[in-house]
């Protein structure tokens, strides 16, 4: 059952019951499922993902590829937005990422997203990514725009 088959107002509880503390491999996001992250925390407007950097996620230097870091960030942002239980679809309009430190294959990272503002047409979200020592690896902000399409399931 997809989260849009859940009555409005119950999506967050469904996500908690289905995904919290588990490796996510069966969400509506095939790219996110490929990451095999664990949903560490979720509340309205906030999500925390944890994952191990796999070799296929790295650049020639053995560190996480910038595109992969952007995917992690975009996925964390998506879970934060979904937790808001909005009526309409949103899609990325902008994603601005500052890559601050590298992380190697085999190491864990934690991505934390926070919805800053929900407007009539735009949702603004920030995301910070850390290693397990608490060092910031990347920071990002994103604007998502309402598509005008209702969820169909």
pLDDT in tens, 35-58: 999 999 999 999 999 999 999 999
Q: Which pLDDT belongs to residue 100?
A: 98
Q: What's the pLDDT band for 87 if we cut at 50, 70, 90?
A: confident
Q: 69: how many CB neighbours lie within 10 A of its CB?
A: 23
Q: Find where tokens 């934690």 sit.
A: 110
Q: Which pLDDT belongs to residue 6?
A: 78
Q: Which pLDDT belongs to residue 150?
A: 57
Per-residue DSSP letters for 97-130?
EEE----BTT-EEEEEEEEEEE-SSEEEEEEEEE
Structural domains in the chain, CATH included, are 3-150 (3.10.129.10)
Q: What's the pLDDT band for 31 if we cut at 50, 70, 90?
A: very high
Q: Is-contact 115 90, C-beta < 8 A?
A: no
């Amino acid at each position: 059952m997809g989260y849009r088959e859940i009555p409005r107002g119950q999506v967050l509880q469904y996500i908690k019951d289905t995904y919290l503390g588990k490796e996510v491999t069966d969400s509506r996001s095939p790219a996110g499922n490929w990451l095999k992250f664990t949903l560490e925390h979720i509340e309205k407007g906030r999500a925390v993902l944890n994952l191990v950097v796999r070799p296929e996620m790295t650049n020639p230097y053995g560190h996480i590829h910038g595109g992969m870091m952007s995917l992690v960030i975009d996925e964390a942002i998506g879970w934060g937005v979904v937790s808001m239980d909005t009526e309409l679809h949103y899609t990325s309009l902008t994603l601005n990422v500052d890559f601050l430190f590298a992380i190697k294959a085999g190491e864990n990272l934690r991505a934390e997203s926070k919805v800053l503002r929900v407007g009539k047409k735009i949702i603004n979200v920030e995301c910070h990514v850390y290693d397990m020592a608490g060092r910031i690896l990347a920071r990002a902000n994103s604007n998502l725009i309402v598509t005008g399409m209702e969820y169909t399931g």
